[in-house]
Amino acid sequence: MKMKVTEKDVANVADLANLELTEAERAVLLRDLNSILDYIDRLNQLDTTEVPPMAQVSDRYGIDQSKTGSERFAYSSREDVLEGLRKSLPHNVALQNAPDSDGTFFKVPKVIEK
Amino acid sequence: MELSSLTIDAVRSAVQERKITATSLAEAFYTKIEKDDPKIGAYLILSKERALAKAAEIDASAVKGDKLPPLAGVPVGIKDVMMTCGVRTTAGSKVLGNYIPPYDCTAVARMEAAGAVVLGKLNCDEFAMGSSNENSAWRPVHNPRDLSRVPGGSSGGSAAAVAADMAVATLGSDTGGSIRQPASFCGVVGLMPTYGRVSRYGLIAFASSLDRIGPLTKTVKDAATVLRTIAGRDPMDATSADVPVPDYVAELEKPVRGLKLGVAKEYFGEGLDPEVRKSVESAVQKLAASGCEIVPVSLPHTEYAIPTYYILATAEASSNLARFDGVRYGYRARDARTLSEMYRRTRGQGFGTEVKRRIMLGTYALSAGYYDAYYLKAQKVRTLLARDFEEAFKNVDAIVTPTSPTAAFKLGEKVDDPLSMYLADIFTVTADLAGIPGISIPCGETKDNLPIGLQILGKHFDEATILRVAHAYEAEHGVKN
């Protein structure tokens, strides 16, 4: 049977996901992704041409049944105010978990690769 | 004081009447944890300072004669995917190994505001991804009923802590069955509320259209008490619903006579362990004897739930976990020369095998050329699964099923076969996808004395009915502590 996912696909997807994988990990993922996607193929037994997608539970079950889409979330909207529901984290607190910082900014390795 | 017999009400009254102090009770639980947890592995982090400060506050109120809040002095544990201000929170992952949250999860804050004493953070599968707790980056959890077996997952620590009397109640999270399946495996009560019923503010996200927080307890009444405490709109979570919270505890005592309970043949087919089948069928008969009417229903798309779930959950996870990039918090690979290399190495080294597998699957399903075939397709099948329940609930008040096709399996039994591990969620993922509430309660044991769980599913925002059915079953036939 033709494999859905090739070694090249695994490398490409790992790239998209920003994951550095070892050769051993890539081999295992090649096997697992193919086996899982084969199983997932059974979804194609169903004709869903006329079926709308469900992205959120509230797409179907809003609080106010007469409203659709984002209207159903109307209860969660509020006026913009300068300070929101909660004040922003103080600067030092926002930085306290940083792997590297200079006290003002997060520090990262060189951004421009040449 | 016998820790195994403690319920929320028993603790609160004893503390109120000053028969015990919250402080001595917390200390007794810590002694028990220090003695028993090394062989179980339920706790990752103990928050003694915070617990004893809260206990002292409760004791001071009791001395003054104040009326204590509903969870006063109750020792609880929190799954390590919920943020606790100042108390290390790792989500079971190396990538958050040293993370100290700057704020509290709303559900945790509400538990403490109601008087609960947070003993510590509970082990779980990394980012709540797993069905056996073997994906924890720190250590596996052993099932207190049989140490060679898994406690279930991903809230394995939450279920094991209650089963081993190392907490009176715990909070877990459920994305594909992660509260109900471990509750079933460990012989405790596990409740997944309706999507939107409980705020997820401060819950480390796995799959946002599915994730929910709920209680694991020894009794149905305790589950009702915790739900009443944590439910309700939170302005910090836009998906938390603005629906009034009923008094779930008062509702428990309403009679079950005349309620219509659906039984779906799709949950009793191939792959269901014969002992589990027998136990659940007998539980259904007992409910009929209590005056419930048993009605056959059909949920014809059930067999498509696992493939649907593993596309949608992994796609959402691949997006949610993009935030772990080594910049603002968490682990950072030290040897990288460029930003891009730092991202890739941090994530490659920081995440465990299962998390990487799911990020890869989800990224693949969302990638150009595959979006329609996988992600959109799965969203459409999700609609069909939701419609199955809508149809069934036109005729019944609740649906009863097994929680899991088998009792607890052995550690190591499924680790090398991700697909067989995914199939352990077959009876639980449907409720996650449809957004409906579900509860698992103990309904029997296998010949090896392993607990079996009965699952009761309800309509949106109708936790009251499933709690009532569960309470009626427990009152008549429940395992006595």
Kindly report the CATH number assigned to the domain that includes residue B87: 3.90.1300.10
Domain positions in chain A are: 7-45
E strands in B368-481: 398-402, 438-445, 451-458
**Pairwise CB contact (< 8 Å): A54 & B383:** yes
In a domain, B188, yes or no: yes
**Pairwise CB contact (< 8 Å): B364 & A78:** no
Q: Which residues contact B143 (CB under 8 A, 6 or more apart)?
A: B149, B150, B151, B152, B160, B163, B185, B186, B408
The CA-atom distances, in angstroms, between A7 and each of A22, B325, B348 are 13, 25, 18
The residue assigned the tokens 């506050």 is B57
In a domain, B42, yes or no: yes
Q: Which residues contact B426 (CB under 8 A, 6 or more apart)?
A: B271, B302, B305, B306, B405
Closest CA to B88 of B52, B57, B117, B48: B48
CATH of A7-45 among 1.10.3470, 1.10.10, 1.10.20, 3.40.30: 1.10.20
Please, are residues B316 and B375 in contact by the beta-carbon 8 Å criterion? no
The residue assigned the tokens 């599968």 is B125
Closest CA to B192 of B226, B152, B163: B226
Q: Which residues contact B228 (CB under 8 A, 6 or more apart)?
A: B70, B245, B247, B248, B249
In tens, the pLDDT along B445-461 reads 999 999 999 999 999 99
In a domain, B389, yes or no: no
In a domain, B297, yes or no: no
What does chain A come to in residues?
114
In a domain, B250, yes or no: yes
In tens, the pLDDT along B152-210 reads 999 999 999 999 999 999 999 999 999 999 999 999 999 999 999 999 999 999 999 99
* CA B203 to chain CA centroid, nearest Å: 12
> What is residue B242's predicted lDDT score, i.e. its pLDDT?
87
Q: How far is A22 from chain B (nearest CA, A)?
A: 8
Residue B324 pLDDT > 90: yes
Percent of residues, chain B, with pLDDT higher than 90:
93
* Rounded-to-integer distance, Cα A99 and Cα B85, Å: 19
In tens, the pLDDT along B242-287 reads 899 999 999 999 999 999 999 999 999 988 999 999 999 999 999 9
Please, are residues B430 and B298 in contact by the beta-carbon 8 Å criterion? no
CB-based contact (8 Å) between B469 and chain A? no
Q: Least CB-CB distance to B419: which of A39, A46, A86?
A: A39
**Which residue, among B337, B360, B421, B430, would best test binding to A if mutated, counting the most A CBs under 10 Å from its CB?**
B360
Q: How far is A81 from chain B (nearest CA, A)?
A: 14
Q: Which residues of A touch B419 (CB under 8 A)?
A: 35-36, 39
Per the structure block, which two tokens stand in for A110? 């060189």
> What is residue A75's predicted lDDT score, i.e. its pLDDT?
73
Axis-axis angle for helices B305-320, B377-392 (nearest 10): 130
Please, are residues B124 and B139 in contact by the beta-carbon 8 Å criterion? no
Cis ω on the peptide bond leading into residue B154 (within 30° of 0)? yes
In a domain, B364, yes or no: no
User: Identity (one letter) of the amino acid at B474?
Assistant: E
Interface subset of B 368-397, CB within 8 angstroms of A? 374, 376-384, 386
Active site residue B154: yes
Q: Which residues of A touch B100 (CB under 8 A)?
A: 96-97
Please, are residues A25 and B356 in contact by the beta-carbon 8 Å criterion? yes
Q: Which residues pair with B170 in a beta bridge?
A: B77, B216
Exposed/middle/buried for A87, CB within 10 Å: 0-12, 13-18, 19+?
exposed
* Rounded-to-integer distance, Cα B283 and Cα B289, Å: 10
Please, are residues B456 and B469 in contact by the beta-carbon 8 Å criterion? yes
In a domain, B148, yes or no: yes
> What is residue B477's predicted lDDT score, i.e. its pLDDT?
87
Total number of domains in chain B: 1
CB-based contact (8 Å) between A10 and chain B? yes
Q: Which residues contact B129 (CB under 8 A, 6 or more apart)?
A: B135, B154, B206, B317, B354, B355, B358
Kind plus residue range of the DSSP H or E element containing B390: helix B377-392
Q: Which residues contact B54 (CB under 8 A, 6 or more apart)?
A: B22, B112, B115, B116, B117, B118
Please, are residues B124 and B158 in contact by the beta-carbon 8 Å criterion? yes
In a domain, B45, yes or no: yes
The CA-atom distances, in angstroms, between B27 and each of A85, B169, B216, B455, B471 are 37, 16, 21, 35, 31
Q: Which residues pair with B440 in a beta bridge?
A: B190, B455
Closest CA to B92 of B444, B478, B391, B352: B352
Please list, residue by residue across B244-277, b when 16 or more beta carbons sit within 10 angstroms of its beta carbon and e when fewer do.
ebbebbebbeeebeebebbbbebbbeeebeebbb
Active site residue B148: no
> What is residue A81's predicted lDDT score, i.e. its pLDDT?
75
* Rounded-to-integer distance, Cα B61 and Cα A93, Å: 32
The CA-atom distances, in angstroms, between B428 and each of A24, A73, B132, B405 are 33, 27, 14, 10
In tens, the pLDDT along B406-436 reads 999 999 999 888 888 888 899 999 999 999 9
Averaged over B110-131, what is the pLDDT?
A: 98
The residue assigned the tokens 């004669």 is B65
Please, are residues B294 and B281 in contact by the beta-carbon 8 Å criterion? no
Per the structure block, which two tokens stand in for B402? 């097994």
CB-based contact (8 Å) between B295 and chain A? no
Q: Which residues pair with B457 in a beta bridge?
A: B399, B438
> What is residue B3's predicted lDDT score, i.e. its pLDDT?
85
Residue B375 pLDDT > 60: yes
Q: Which residues of A touch B342 (CB under 8 A)?
A: 108-109
Q: Which residues of B touch A81 (CB under 8 A)?
A: none
* Rounded-to-integer distance, Cα B88 and Cα B86, Å: 6
In tens, the pLDDT along B23-62 reads 999 999 999 999 999 999 999 999 999 999 999 999 999 9
Residue B263, φ and ψ in degrees, nearest 5 = -125, 120
Nearest CA in chain B to A15: B344
Q: What is the average pLDDT value for chain B, to the nearest integer? A: 96
Interface subset of A 93-112, CB within 8 angstroms of B? 93-94, 96-100, 106, 108-111
Which residue range is the domain that position B169 belongs to?
3-258
3-state secondary structure B323-340: HCCCCCCCCCCCCCCEHH
How many CB pairs below 8 Å do chains A and B form together?
179
Active site residue B79: yes
**Pairwise CB contact (< 8 Å): B311 & A40:** yes
Interface subset of B 73-112, CB within 8 angstroms of A? 98-100, 102-103
> What is residue A68's predicted lDDT score, i.e. its pLDDT?
67
Q: Would you write out chain A's pLDDT as a tens digit for each of its 114 residues?
A: 568 899 999 999 999 999 999 999 999 999 999 999 999 999 999 999 999 999 888 777 766 667 766 676 677 777 777 766 777 889 999 999 999 999 999 999 988 766
Q: Least CB-CB distance to B363: which of A17, A35, A53?
A: A17
